[in-house]
Amino acid sequence: MIKVAMTSVYVDDVAKAHAFYTEVLGFETRVNMDLGGGTLFVTVGAPHGAQRDLQLLLEPGQGPIAEPYRTALYAAGIPSIVFSVEDLPAEYDRLRGLGVRFPHPPREQGPVLAAVFDDTVGNLVQLTQPLG
C-alpha cells in the first residue's frame, strides 16, 4: 500500500511560515534543520500524534518554478493546500481572534463547509468540514 508521507507548500519565508503554522494554526514541529547558507528544512504535522506519518514541508518558494506557480494560484484565489477541521465555525472564530485574514468566510460548498484564509507567507489555505 502506498501512503502520502510528505507534501509541501511553497512559502515566502520558512522561519515566518514555521511560526505561523505552529503558533497560530497549532501544528507541531516534526523537523527543523539548518542546512547551512540560510537554508532551513522544516516540516510540521498535526498535533498530539495525529497523522504521525504525514508531514508538511514548508518549502522555500523562490525560484523559476515555485514563484510563478504560487503567484498564479494566489491571484486566481485558489488555495495551495486544504486542511480539515471538526468544527469550522469555532476554528474560524479562533483564527480571526488571532488576526488571521479570511478572504472567504465559511460557506457551504457541495458536501463541505469551507473557508479560505491567507497564511501570511504567500498562500491561500482552505479549511473544510464535512456536512451531514
Q: In sequence order, which residues have a C-beta less than 8 Å from that of residue 47 and are 6 or more positions away?
A: 26, 27, 28
Residue 38 pLDDT: 85
Q: Tell me which amino acid residue 16 is.
A: K
Q: Determine phi and psi for 56, rounding to 5 degrees.
A: -110, 115
pLDDT digits (tens, 9 = 90+) for 83-115: 999 999 999 999 999 999 999 999 999 999 999
Q: Determine phi and psi for 49, rounding to 5 degrees.
A: 80, 0
DSSP label at 71? Answer: H
CA atoms within a 13 Å half-sphere pointing along the CA-CB vector of 93:
3
Confidence of residue 5 (pLDDT cuts 50, 70, 90): very high
What is the average pLDDT across 58-80?
Answer: 95
pLDDT, averaged across the chain: 95
Answer yes or no: pTM beyond 0.75.
Answer: yes
What is the average pLDDT across 59-82?
Answer: 95
